[in-house]
Amino acid sequence: MALSPELLSEIRQAIADGSLNTADLQGGRSPMRPRQLHDLRLKPTKDDPRPTFFWSVEGPRNDAESFRTYPYPRLLWSQAGEEIRVETAKEHADFVAKGYLEADPGTIVIDQAQAVRAMLESLSPADRALVVEGQKKARMQAIQEQMAELSDADLDTVLASLETGKVKKSA
């Protein structure tokens, strides 16, 4: 249905004057009663059918705006756990550059290998080599202590299996 320019100008004039009769625009629907818009507990009756509001967790299927997500505002945390709210991407980049985190530091679970790697990266190459050498010595010491507890027969079996490349599973 195309509206003519004359009809559009009449509608604009009626809106500006406040003389627009909304009953004419409803197209035969029952009149809107003010109490229906304020008391959501009302149930429809034969004399009072519209509107009815039903609570639902699902939005209307044709409302694209309800499914849209927005990246900001967003929360960031300082190393001490202080929470701040950023409104724009520029603020976000500025605070991340200052050392703020995108996750609460109290909830971050760090893998032990990642923690060791971070600690090793903080050392100089010479200190790193000392730590690795010390770890190798500690592992050798642990192996020697466990070998000392083995009987001669068990020790011979372990050494023989290492020479052949086969480890015998004990039952």
State residue 49's pLDDT score: 62
For residues 30-50, b (16+ Cβ closer than 10 Å) or e, as one string?
A: eeeeeebeeeeeeeeeeeeee
* pLDDT value of position 1: 62
Give the CA diameter of the chain: 110
Average pLDDT of adjacent 10-residue blocks, the chain of 171 residues: 82 79 54 64 69 66 75 91 93 94 84 87 92 94 91 90 69 43
**pLDDT recorded at residue 83:** 93
C-alpha pair distances (Å), 65 with each of 59, 61, 72, 146: 10, 10, 16, 67
Let me know: does 36 contact 16? Beta carbons within 8 Å.
no
Q: Which residues contact 161 (CB under 8 A, 6 or more apart)?
A: 167, 168
Q: In percent, how much of the chain has pLDDT > 70?
A: 74
pTM of the model: 0.35
pLDDT (0 to 100) of residue 135: 93
DSSP state of 9: H
